[in-house]
Amino acid sequence: MHRRIVAILCVAAVTLPLAGCAPGAESPPGGARAVTPAPAALTWADAGPYELTEGTRIIVDGDAGTAPDLLADLLREATGHPVPVVDASTDGTVAAADADDIAITVDPEASAPVPEPAPAAGTGRDEAYALETGADGVELTARSAAGAFLGTQSLRQLLPAAIERPGADAPDGGWTVPAASVADRPRFAYRGAMLDVARHFFPVEGVERYLDALALLKVNVLHLHLTDDQGWRIAIDGWPELTGIGASTSVGGDGGGSYSAEDYRRIVAYAAARHITIVPEIDLPGHTNAALSAYPELNPGGVAPPPYEGFEVGFSSLSAAPEEAEATNRFLADVLTQVAALTPGPWLHVGGDESHATSEEDYLDLVGRITATAAATGKTVMGWHELGASGDLPEGTIGQYWNFVEPEAEPEELAHSIVDQGGRLVLSPADVAYLDMKYVDDPPSPQGRRVGLEWAKGATTLDEAYSWEPTEILPGVDEAAILGIEAPLWTETLRDIDEVEFMAFPRIVAIAEIAWSPRPAGGERDHDGFFDRVALLGQRWDETGTAYHPVGGVPWVG
Ligand code: TNX
């Protein structure tokens, strides 16, 4: 069968150096559909499409986790069809699947067409999958539940955009999927977004909405910046004023808020169902005014400052003095141990950035105590690149690089220090990956306000967000030392989740694709193809009600 032959050729390219097959840039015959981030290999077949009908079943063989049920919910809500989820081992066999069925197979031993993990992404996770669609049905195969979930996100994008809307009218031509073969795997293991819930607080429902939109882009980490000068957002047993006084306000005095342990567990569970890992950040030893305002005994001299509603950074610090050592050590142990216990993921982020009010000696002392306490929880310690000032980091520490695509000397040195100590990096170059930088045309937000900052080399265009190569930022830091990529979204100027989405979309698509898709052959990214695919995502955001800015240069459809 023609479609199979194409698939085999494609997989051959996948197992070679991963440059060969056409990425998802081109549309199939007869309609604009694409997969974003661009898959490692995607080939449109010159064959009839798959059609989802009243009789469609999802037939599951193996442990596919949440993927079948989440897919069934999406399909049922849009189409009104029953879409039962059927276990292959009791109710039939995958071989007996009908042409309108979707067969999901998870087999830890699966080989081609499921590609092997990429070298940099192969540490502990296997997110590869293969997807075959056409008139004979849909077959999704993976070695893990995560791979199956990621494959369903590709399938979702191959259906008409109306599939995103509950109660949608069936499109002309029906609920079809073009005939295609996808053999896909991520380039990097860590494909992250960060949300600053400290400068402004966002209730659980808003975070869940953001998680939904991130899952579609195969983002698999949400880093929550839980504490800063303007707010402490997570309840800690034995320290009630952290979420009392410490959570009472935000930037601009826009009101406070915090997550109870139960709220946080809800976020973790919602993310986990979408194969997204939560990375909690407790920013230490600077960025601590909220904690310092709540507990005088954490302050040098034992005097608490008032809560803070401004923008400036770098004025607060935990005390390193012996007089406050008992309180500070108890605080660190209670906070880091409790947050670690609430967090199933492997990483615990301890901040470490911009501690301009901490002397160098105190910084090294405090970072030593903080990272040792964090490591004692059993988590892998993560922190901003400033942690590299310490030569005594716990084994495997992850540094988050937030300087520019063309690094300044000191951040470059600090990042190298982390790698030289056996750590790895997550790259968040601020001039391309910071979603809180303004758009060039400085559009009004959904609330009619001018939002965003400009400190990282001014506004950031979609093209700039898409124009960088992770291995070219820090000479000597190669792919193996890069755990992944993250797009932070700081919220000094953002008051609600609509404004968050408005800044994130579409630029986060560029970051998600750099993290997922193979390094382009010859090093040149296909900007036109990318912009075309972003336009197709825009149709989906229209259906889901996700806020985005229709930046220039993208052939938006709606
Ligand atoms: C820098 S980058 C910060 C944050 C600010 C952000 C605003 C980094 C580790 N810290 O404290 O919110 O700039 O863009």
Instruction: Grade residue 118 by pLDDT with cuts at 50, 70 and 90.
Output: confident
Q: Collapsing DSSP states into helix, strand and coil, what is residue 381?
A: strand
Contact call for residues 182 and 34 (beta carbons, < 8 A):
no
Least confident of 8-12, 208-212, 417-421, 538-542: 8-12
Distances (CA, A) of 453 to 35, 110, 434, 456: 31, 47, 10, 8
pLDDT tens digits, residue range 523-542? Answer: 899 999 999 999 999 999 99
Q: Is 354 a catalytic residue?
A: yes
Of 226, 386, 490, 507, the one to substitute when testing ligand 1's pocket (max ligand atoms within 8 A of C-beta) is 490
Closest CA to 56 of 191, 151, 177: 177
Tokens of 509: 């698509």
Among protein residues, the one whose CA lies closest to atom 11 of ligand 1 = 313
Distance 509 CA to ligand 1 centre (A): 21
Give the separation between CA 18 and CA 185, rounded to whole angstroms: 10
Which residue lies with its CA nearest to atom 12 of ligand 1? 490
- Round the CA-based radius of gyration of the chain to a whole number and report it: 24
The predicted pLDDT at position 95 comes to: 55
Structure confidence by residue, pLDDT tens digits, 260-289: 999 999 999 999 999 999 999 999 999 999
Nearest CA to ligand 1 atom 2: 402
Distance 229 CA to ligand 1 centre (A): 12
Residue 102 has pLDDT above 90, yes or no: yes
Give me the pLDDT at residue 120, please. 74
Q: What is the pLDDT of residue 16?
A: 29
Return the closest-CA partner of residue 439 out of 554, 277, 550, 521. Answer: 550
| Residues flanking ligand 1, CB < 6 Å | 313, 353-354, 384, 402, 434, 436, 453, 490, 492
| Residue 538 near residue 548, CB atoms below 8 Å | yes
313 CA distance to ligand 1 centroid (A)?
8
Ordered strands of the 41-44 beta sheet: 41-44, 180-184, 129-134, 137-142, 102-106, 58-61, 85-87
Q: What average pLDDT score do residues 121-131 get? A: 85
Q: Which of 199, 225, 281, 313 to mutate to test the pocket of ligand 1 (most atoms within 8 A of CB)?
A: 313
What is the 3 state secondary structure string of 80-148? CCCCCEEEHHHHCCHHHCCCCCEEEEECCCCCCCCCCCCHHHCCCCCCCEEEEEECCEEEEEECCHHHH
- Rounded Cα distance, 236 and 290, in Å: 14
Predicted local distance difference test score (pLDDT) of residue 94: 55
Q: Cα(373)–Cα(29) distance, rounded to whole angstroms?
A: 57
Task: Give the residue, by CA position, lying nearest to ligand 1 atom 7.
Answer: 490
Task: State mean pLDDT over 95-112.
Answer: 92
pLDDT band at 21 (very low <50, low <70, confident <90, very high): very low
Q: Please say if the pLDDT value at position 31 is more than 90.
A: no
| Residue of the CA atom closest to atom 5 of ligand 1 | 490
As a whole number of angstroms, the distance between CA 81 and CA 128 comes to 29
Note the pTM of the prediction, 2 decimals: 0.95
- Measuring from atom 4 of ligand 1, which residue has the nearest CA? 490
- Quick: pLDDT tens for 215-261: 999 999 999 999 999 999 999 999 999 999 999 999 999 999 999 99
- Round the average pLDDT of the chain to a whole number and report it: 93
CA–CA dist 520, 529 (Å, integer): 13
Which one of 279, 284, 354, 436 would you pick to mutate in the ligand 1 pocket, going by the greatest count of ligand atoms within 8 A of its CB? 354
CA dist., res. 376 & res. 384, Å (int): 19
Does residue 134 carry a pLDDT above 80?
yes
* φ/ψ of residue 11, rounded to 5: -65, -35
Residue of 51, 309, 354, 413 marked catalytic: 354
CA angle centred on 157, ends 58 and 35, rounded to 5°: 125
Helix or strand holding residue 427 (H, E): strand 424-427
CA of 278 to the centre of ligand 1 (A): 19
Residue 490 alpha carbon to ligand 1 centre in Å:
7
What is the 8-class DSSP label of residue 506? Answer: T
pLDDT of residue 487: 98
Contacts of 475 (CB under 8 A, 6+ apart): none
